[in-house]
Amino acid sequence: MWLSASIYNQVRHQPNLGASWIKIKQSMESAKIWNLVIVIFLMLINWAIEAVKWKIAMHNIQRISFFKSFRAVLSGVSFSVNTPNRVGEYLGRVLYMEEGNRLRAVSLTIVCSISQLIVTLFVGLIGLFCIRRKIETGEMIRGFDSSLWLQVLQYGVITVLVILTLLYFRLSLLARLVDRLQNRNRYDWLTHSLKNIRATILLKLLSLSAARYIVFIVQYFLLFRLFEVDIGWWQCCWAVSVIFLVLAILPTFAIAELGIRGQVSLKLLELFSTNGLGISLATATIWLINLVVPAMAGSLLIASIKIFKYRNERN
């Protein structure tokens, strides 16, 4: 609530608010409305890529169809909205696996998430380097030495990125180290799947994660065009990459993410555009299309699973 009120106050006090609103209304009535249609289509592409990722990751323990993987991904989104940093996503996905494979599927789903996180940290770090001077001169971080704060953030991200990347490409070594622990049988569900995952699979997952990232950037750029946010492609790319970086670092609930996403987006993107209203509308639209709509679809799929099981039990 506090973040939402803060965003409202920032937008309300932006210069030329009335002119911005008129331009946005005119844009919505023009051919630019097709941008919204394309963004919705890209949402389907985005989750389809994630479904392919998960299907590839599950191949060693259970072969599943693309459409089953797609349903599992949407169900995972539904579970994730009320959990910190979307950890509930794993629970929704494993519902579609056979009972003996569910714990193994969790470890491989974590690998999928790590591949996406590596891409987010890597591109976000580049974005931070590219617009660091802009952030420092824009006085985004008041009351602190912004140069020092950004330096600490950069070194922290580099450290985490190096560790994650090494662990990602040495999963079999990590599994063998876990096997040496006492009571190692407790961790069989975790290590069994990791021992057999090949480097080619890991590279595929990273490539697909990068493809998803590009889709996200294009969605933002199209909506900025729709809502008359005057920002160039590379400015959009680097600013949005830093937004994703901040969201990856902060512990948030997906259902409450809109406020944080909106606040961070306003702070960063107002370095390039004065149209705070357009920035807020673009951010809210992205959140609705990429998260709320898939979560609603996932809820229906989960309900259908429960109904199907109930009927089977009665029969």
The two structure tokens encoding residue 34: 């097709």
Q: Is residue 314 domain-resident?
A: no
Q: Cα–Cα distance between 60 and 55 in angstroms, integer?
A: 10
> Which has the higher per-residue pLDDT, 69 or 171?
69
**pLDDT, position 4:** 45
Instruction: State the residue range of the domain holding 28.
Output: 2-307
**pLDDT, position 7:** 41
Helix, strand, coil shares, percent, the chain, to 5: 80, 0, 20
Which bin fits 85, alpha (ψ -120 to 50), beta or left (φ > 0)?
left
Q: Is residue 109 domain-resident?
A: yes
**pLDDT, position 170:** 85
Q: Cα–Cα distance between 16 and 7 in angstroms, integer?
A: 16
Segment 199-210, tens digit of pLDDT: 899 999 999 999
- In the predicted model, is pLDDT for residue 20 greater than 70? no
**Global pTM?**
0.85
Q: Cα–Cα distance between 102 and 85 in angstroms, integer?
A: 21
> Which has the higher per-residue pLDDT, 288 or 5?
288
Q: Is residue 313 domain-resident?
A: no
Residue 177 CB: number of other CB atoms within 10 A?
A: 11
- In the predicted model, is pLDDT for residue 84 greater than 80? no
Segment 28-40, tens digit of pLDDT: 667 778 889 999 9
Q: Is residue 315 domain-resident?
A: no
Q: Is residue 103 domain-resident?
A: yes
Q: What percent of the chain has pLDDT over 90?
A: 34
Q: Cα–Cα distance between 2 and 8 in angstroms, integer?
A: 10
Q: Is residue 312 domain-resident?
A: no
Can you tell me the mean pLDDT for 8-34? Answer: 62
- C-alpha dihedral, 29 to 268 to 290 to 231, nearest 10°: 40
Segment 262-303, tens digit of pLDDT: 778 888 888 888 888 888 888 888 888 898 888 888 888 877
What value, to the nearest 5°, has the Cα angle with vertex 182 and ends 179 and 187?
50
